[in-house]
Amino acid sequence: MARKVKNAKTAGAAKTAPAHDKILEAARELFASRGFRDTTVRMIAQKAKVNGAAVNYYFTSKEGLYEAIFDNAFRDFARPLLADLVSTVEDDETWLAAIGKWFDFMLSLFLLDTPARALFRRLVAQERSAPTEYCRRIYDDVFMPVVDVFRKLMRMALPDAPEPEFHAVFVTYLGMCTCFMHRDPPWDGIVVSDAVPRETWIAMLRDEILAAISARYHFRVNQCVAH
């Protein structure tokens, strides 16, 4: 009897796991195209081909599902970047290399059109253009950890700069990648080149940004170690 119960539970888990993933996938697509407010649990359930109660079973609510999508995106895209990038900096060469990796990550996130990245870009664009009540939580837990890596890297070149002066520099270069967040047609015709492969375009943009930074700034002190 014990074996039958165990096997039944295993079979049940095998059946329910795909439902969890189907809900996530359907919700990502709907939230990205319609936004949080105009997407209903019923729409998500219909697209995922599951019972509406399954959304609440796995995610408690539409709100919980929305947060889970950003949590998963952070885990898949951002966490590898945050793990040790700042700690790799020892001198000017490694400082510039770390900044290059950061821009590679950000530019790839917003310019590579793999299904997962394209959906995440559109989700972020929706949240920026029509912030939800969960914007602060997403901002604090998903966006800011990534942005803070770049902030720390730039502070290594400007350790003594007053905050307004530093912030002007920081925002200028940050904007060089976040401008690609909103690039649905026809705006993509301005910010994306179809004359070269997308990976080549990303490398060209990264090199231009690094050239601009290295022409004016150099590694001076690792603020993270100093403090």
pLDDT of residue 141: 74
Secondary structure of the chain in HEC code, one letter for each residue: CHHHHHHHHHHHHHHHHHHHHHHHHHHHHHHHHHCCCCCCHHHHHHHHCCCHHHHHHHHCCHHHHHHHHHHHHHHHHHHHHHCCCHHHCCCHHHHHHHHHHHHHHHHHHHHCCCHHHHHHHHHHHHHHHCCCCCHHHHHHHHHHHHHHHHHHHHHCCCCCCCHHHHHHHHHHHHHHHHCCCCCCCCCHHHHCCCCCCHHHHHHHHHHHHHHHHHHHCCCCCCHHHHC
pLDDT digits (tens, 9 = 90+) for 159-196: 999 999 999 999 999 999 988 877 777 888 888 998 99
Instruction: Answer whether 82's CB lies under 8 Å from 146's CB.
Output: yes
pLDDT of residue 129: 77
How far is it, in rounded angstroms, from Cα 70 to Cα 6?
Answer: 34
**Band (226; pLDDT cuts 50, 70, 90):** very low
pLDDT of residue 97: 95
Q: What is the domain partition of the chain in residue ranges?
A: 1-59, 68-226
Is 105 or 203 the better-scoring residue by pLDDT? 203
pLDDT of residue 44: 95
Q: Does domain 1-59 have CATH number 3.40.50.170?
A: no
**Band (9; pLDDT cuts 50, 70, 90):** very low
**Band (2; pLDDT cuts 50, 70, 90):** very low
CATH number of 68-226: 1.10.357.10
- The reply to whether 68-226 shares the fold of 1-59 is no
Least confident of 30-34, 159-163, 214-218: 30-34
* pLDDT tops 50 at residue 4: no
pLDDT digits (tens, 9 = 90+) for 66-75: 888 877 876 7
Q: What is the pTM of this model?
A: 0.74
pLDDT of residue 18: 84
